[in-house]
């Protein structure tokens, strides 16, 4: 039976970068069930529709209103979904909202969707309210928004078991129903050869040699612990470079970090800007001696999975989200002074057999748990097996959500909190 799945919250596809954008790209490109019809909201400056990966992509024009633009984008996308469903009189639909940005406004739309018989799934993402770029007021908004999205969602799809546990612990009073579906990664090696002209020119332009650099890739924000990594690297005696791939453009955080660390005095530290060419970026990962992952906010981070799939040696900041993914396929450092510097000194002395062993363990983690094929199939099962039932009896409303391999049946009463294994 055909299922129409509306996805809002990513910037849209085709994807150049971004975790949610890459997820939607892979989900639509690797579709297995021909009865799944995807409708993807795309942030734009004009209205329109186009097809990509067999999905209907609808453009949502959103004015530039600062940090509130993302909230407005989700609201306008949700309205567009409801309008399209009503116009086309679609019967078997669900809406999947990526991230918890519209909590204070969500209940109004949710009541309408309940009357239409449409299930709403929400990906709570990571701890957006912890991000250092937000001021105290915005952080309070994100925490409130998260709480209200958790309260009213029919099902929360968590890409980290750590996030799933946090949802049940912090929002137990709402008896949330959750399931775990991880993010994905691609184990295929880069199609670019080591002597490809584009690669050679890129490395020569930055004075980088294969196997002689540690790598960092990610958004240039405080919660990714750039200051910790740079300070500890500067304190180490390694003769390797630290290559940082990120969009900086000498913003305020860059200037603050430069003043605090004076990394401009260390020729080993190289900010090289962004790399959007997928195969070039993958080859840069493959040729690195090691990868530093300092992210401490969020669930299953895409850049970590990509590193485990491509880089031989991975050194991760020791938080529950990173240990959940890396397990024994990575090494771990803390915020304690000297922790990473000592680990770098140790890693520099590893022999080839040890590095190959760590590389094999990392790739095994990806192969067993995080391949896109596995993730896409799990999502499709979730979309097609999930049923939500709504009913009213005089002054009492009841709702029960079930997700089963077979046919779900409604049961009267309050919904119970549960973790649903797919």
The Cα 401–Cα 386 span in angstroms is: 8
Burial of 269 (0-12, 13-18, 19+ CB in 10 A): middle
User: Is the pLDDT higher at 19 or at 355?
Assistant: 355
The Cα 111–Cα 62 span in angstroms is: 24
Is the bond preceding 14 in cis, omega lying within 30 degrees of 0? Answer: yes
Q: pLDDT averaged over the chain? A: 89
Structure tokens at 260: 């605090």
The Cα 53–Cα 138 span in angstroms is: 36
pLDDT of residue 250: 66
Distance of CA 52 to the CA centre of its chain: 21
pLDDT of residue 249: 61
pLDDT of residue 388: 62
Interior angle at CA 410, CA 406 and CA 413, nearest 5: 140
Q: Is residue 150's pLDDT more than 90?
A: yes
The Cα 89–Cα 69 span in angstroms is: 30
pLDDT of residue 177: 94
**H/E run at residue 3:** strand 3-8
pLDDT in tens, 21-74: 999 999 999 999 999 999 999 999 999 999 999 999 999 999 988 878 999 999
Let me know: does 415 contact 399? Beta carbons within 8 Å.
yes
pLDDT of residue 419: 76
Tell me the domain boundaries of the chain: 3-184+374-420, 197-369
Structure tokens at 182: 């991880």
pLDDT band at 15 (very low <50, low <70, confident <90, very high): confident
Helix (H, G, I), strand (E, B) or coil at 338: coil
Residue entry with tokens 């590095």: 355
CATH class as words, domain 3-184+374-420: alpha beta
Pick the CATH number of 197-369 from 3.40.50.2000, 3.90.960.10, 3.30.750.200, 3.40.50.11140: 3.40.50.2000
Distances (CA, A) of 255 to 98, 142, 226, 398: 32, 27, 13, 55
Q: What is the mean pLDDT of residues 148-172?
A: 93
E-strand ranges in 246-380 read 269-271, 290-293, 314-317, 331-333
Does 3-184+374-420 match 197-369 in CATH topology?
Answer: yes
pLDDT in tens, 259-287: 999 999 999 999 999 998 999 999 999 99
Say which range, 27-31, 303-307, 388-392, has the weakest mean pLDDT: 388-392
The Cα 422–Cα 401 span in angstroms is: 15
pLDDT of residue 109: 94
User: Is the pLDDT higher at 398 or at 1?
Assistant: 1
Q: Which pTM does this prediction carry?
A: 0.86
């Amino acid at each position: 039976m055909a299922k129409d799945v509306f996805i809002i919250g990513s910037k849209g596809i085709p994807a150049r970068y971004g975790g949610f954008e890459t997820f939607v790209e892979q989900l639509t490109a690797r579709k297995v069930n021909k009865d799944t019809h995807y409708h993807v909201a795309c942030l734009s400056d004009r209205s329109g529709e186009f097809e990509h990966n067999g999905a209907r992509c609808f453009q949502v024009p959103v004015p530039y209103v600062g940090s509130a633009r993302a909230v407005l984008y989700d609201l306008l996308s949700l309205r567009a979904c409801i309008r399209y469903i009503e116009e086309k009189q679609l019967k078997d639909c669900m809406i999947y909202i990526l991230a918890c940005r519209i909590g204070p406004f969500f209940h109004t739309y949710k009541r309408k969707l309940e009357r239409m018989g449409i299930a709403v799934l929400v990906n709570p993402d990571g701890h957006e309210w912890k991000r250092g770029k937000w001021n105290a007021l915005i952080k309070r908004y994100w925490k409130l928004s998260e709480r209200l999205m958790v309260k009213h969602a029919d099902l929360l799809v968590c890409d980290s078991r750590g996030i799933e546990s946090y949802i049940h612990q912090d929002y137990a009073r709402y008896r949330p129903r959750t399931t775990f579906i991880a993010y994905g990664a691609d184990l295929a090696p880069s199609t670019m050869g080591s002597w490809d002209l584009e690669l050679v020119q890129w490395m020569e332009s930055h004075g980088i040699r294969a196997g002689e650099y540690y790598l960092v890739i990610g958004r240039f924000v405080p919660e990714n612990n750039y200051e910790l990594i740079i300070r500890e690297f500067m304190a180490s005696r390694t003769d390797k470079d630290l290559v940082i791939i990120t969009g900086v453009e000498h913003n305020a955080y860059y200037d603050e970090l430069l003043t605090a660390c004076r990394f401009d005095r260390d020729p080993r530290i190289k900010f090289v800007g962004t790399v959007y060419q997928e195969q070039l970026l993958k080859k840069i990962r493959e040729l690195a001696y090691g990868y530093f992952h300092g992210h401490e906010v969020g669930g299953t981070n895409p850049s970590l999975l990509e590193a485990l799939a491509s880089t031989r040696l991975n050194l991760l900041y020791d938080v529950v989200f990173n240990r959940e993914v890396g397990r024994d396929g990575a090494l771990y450092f803390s915020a304690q002074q000297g922790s990473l510097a000592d680990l770098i000194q140790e890693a520099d002395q590893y022999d080839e057999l040890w590095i190959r062993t760590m590389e094999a363990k990392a790739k095994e983690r990806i192969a067993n748990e995080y391949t896109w094929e596995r993730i896409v199939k799990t999502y499709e099962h979730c979309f097609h097996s999930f049923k939500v039932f709504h009913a009213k009896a005089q002054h009492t409303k009841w709702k029960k959500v079930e997700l089963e391999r077979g046919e779900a049946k409604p049961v009267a009463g309050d919904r119970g909190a549960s973790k649903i294994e797919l």
